[in-house]
Structure 1
Amino acid sequence: MQRNYKSSTLWAQYSMVKSCLIIYDNIDISKCPKLIAFLKRTGDGQQTKKSKILTKSEIDRFLSSADDKEFLMIKVGLILGIAGACRTAELVNLTVDDIEDPVGKNTMGKIPSVVASYLKLPDVACYTGHCLRRSSATLLADAGVDITTIKRHAGWEINDGR
């Protein structure tokens, strides 16, 4: 029986196996060029799904028009997510002493799609949890911020050419 896996699934499995081999057997499979080449080939021809972004005007419109009684948590998550270029897990792991109702990963991950739905934007399902990080970086770039500062803000690797 042949099983087909997406490239992202294979890379995730590779990462787990690599970690286990390093921890338990002190074997580093990241130095296996044939394995890496095979994994890279599995992604050839596949289209990666990228989350859509929210524009500054869409964010402003949602924040000013959505009712606080119904959308306050979404507004707070949106502001924190955009300001911090946060991943969903980073939003979930925030600790604030006076939060009465903890919010889970799925709820946090749906913030962009809730905003898109409220604004009646097309393709609501394409506004994933990653939307906040992408929107944050895009807003900074649109404001003329240099790429190194954007990478530092988002916690991305900065390649200084060495």
Structure 2
Amino acid sequence: MIRAMLNVENNQDISTFYKLIVFLKRKGEGYRPKKSKICTRQNIEFITEAPDDKYLMFKIVAVMGILGACRCEELCQMSLNNIEDLGNTLVVHIPDSKTRVSRTFTVITETYIDLYRKYLALRPAHVNHQRLFVKYTSNKCTIQPVGINIFGKMPTDIATFLKLPNSELYTGHCFRRTSASLLADSGANLCTIKRHGGWKSSSVAEGYLEDSLENKKRIGHILPNNCPSSNNSEIEHINSISSTASSSTSTISSCEVAFSQGIHITNCSNCTININISK
């Protein structure tokens, strides 16, 4: 951020100031950014338990925010033109995002679709814009669109309704972090998480995999030393993989290897080949 600011404002490129870069990295050691708290699967029951007369719009925001891993600005700019109602499925397009990566997600739960249609039916006919979220109070919608600061406060209001401790720590980034965390807990890989959230950096998505409690539990069961004696299914699975790998190595002898025009390997399956070339 400092490098970009000085480059734009003062036309000064500090990327070659190596001592300064080392100094800043040393100063940043041990720093942990403050992150929003996330909702659990049990907390998401707010969508079905909260009364519609007060929290209908909150429910739709939670549905879109969690299922689509949406930022506050994406929720604020969400348009009716970006949503396709296919009867039993809602297809939502997010064309403009912070990373310039367009995304698409679906809503297939019947309860969520009914809530969306109920909210849409309350929308005044004379609204002169296409923004999805307009202000809602006491079963009535106005023509005024919801501002971005309101979306930032919604997770706190939801946490207050659920009587969660430290409700002020549920910030506007809560929906997006909750979506990625639930996806990581379900066993999704790094590529799926990056595609879902539109992240270009792998380090961000890896953070969700690293913090996933369910992922840690799966690793703990796979490791032989932590497996209970009464449950050997995971060990048997590992042994089957090892036996498959050993049997696959025996087929390498039948592979055709030619060095005249490169290396050609055929008739191989279920094997991994590592080639190290040193000059």
Where does 1:5-154 land on structure 2 (aligned, <5 Å)?
11=1, 14=2, 17-18=5-6, 20-21=8-9, 25=11, 28-59=13-44, 61-96=45-80, 97=130, 99=134, 100-154=143-197
Q: State the shift of 1:66 in Å.
A: 0.8
Specify the SS of the correspondent of 1:52: coil
- Structure 1 contact 113–124 (Cα < 8 Å) conserved: yes
Specify the SS of the correspondent of 2:5: helix
- Structure 2 contact 3–15 (Cα < 8 Å) conserved: no
Q: Which has the higher contact order (CA 8 A, sep 6+)?
A: 1
1:33 to 1:154, Cα distance in 2 relative to 1, 3 A:
farther
Query: Is there any run of 5+ residues in structure 2 with no aligned partner, and where?
Result: 81-129, 135-142, 203-279
Rounded Cα–Cα distance in structure 2 between residues aligned with 1:65 and 1:118: 10
Q: State the shift of 1:88 in Å.
A: 1.3
Rounded Cα–Cα distance in structure 1 between residues aligned with 2:19 and 2:72: 34
Q: State the shift of 1:150 in Å.
A: 0.5
The residue identity in structure 1 corresponding to 2:36 is S
The residue identity in structure 1 corresponding to 2:56 is L
Rounded Cα–Cα distance in structure 1 between residues aligned with 2:181 and 2:5: 34
The residue identity in structure 1 corresponding to 2:57 is M
TM-score (structure 2 length as normaliser) = 0.46
Q: State the shift of 1:113 in Å.
A: 1.0
Larger radius of gyration: 2
Identity across the alignment (%) = 46
1:75 to 1:36, Cα distance in 2 relative to 1, 3 A:
farther
- Structure 2 contact 61–75 (Cα < 8 Å) conserved: yes
The residue identity in structure 2 corresponding to 1:56 is R
Rounded Cα–Cα distance in structure 2 between residues aligned with 1:15 and 1:62: 44
Q: State the shift of 1:36 in Å.
A: 3.0
- Structure 2 contact 155–174 (Cα < 8 Å) conserved: yes
Q: State the shift of 1:118 in Å.
A: 0.5
1:120-158 Cα deviation digits (max 9, x unpaired): 001101111111111000111122211111111111125
1:72 to 1:35, Cα distance in 2 relative to 1, 3 A:
farther
Q: What value does the CA root-mean-square deviation take over the aligned residues?
A: 2.2
Q: State the shift of 1:106 in Å.
A: 1.3
Rounded Cα–Cα distance in structure 1 between residues aligned with 2:64 and 2:77: 12
- Structure 1 contact 18–30 (Cα < 8 Å) conserved: no
Specify the SS of the correspondent of 2:184: helix
Rounded Cα–Cα distance in structure 2 between residues aligned with 1:31 and 1:136: 39
- Deviating more after overlay: 44-53 vs 85-94: 44-53
Post-superposition, which runs of at least 4 consecutive aligned residues in structure 1 deviate over 6 A?
none
Query: Is there any run of 5+ residues in structure 1 with no aligned partner, and where?
Result: 1-10
The residue identity in structure 1 corresponding to 2:159 is A
Q: State the shift of 1:16 in Å.
A: 5.3
1:87 to 1:36, Cα distance in 2 relative to 1, 3 A:
farther
Q: State the shift of 1:41 in Å.
A: 3.0
Higher helix share: 1
State the partner residue of 2:101: none
Q: State the shift of 1:32 in Å.
A: 3.6
Specify the SS of the correspondent of 2:146: coil
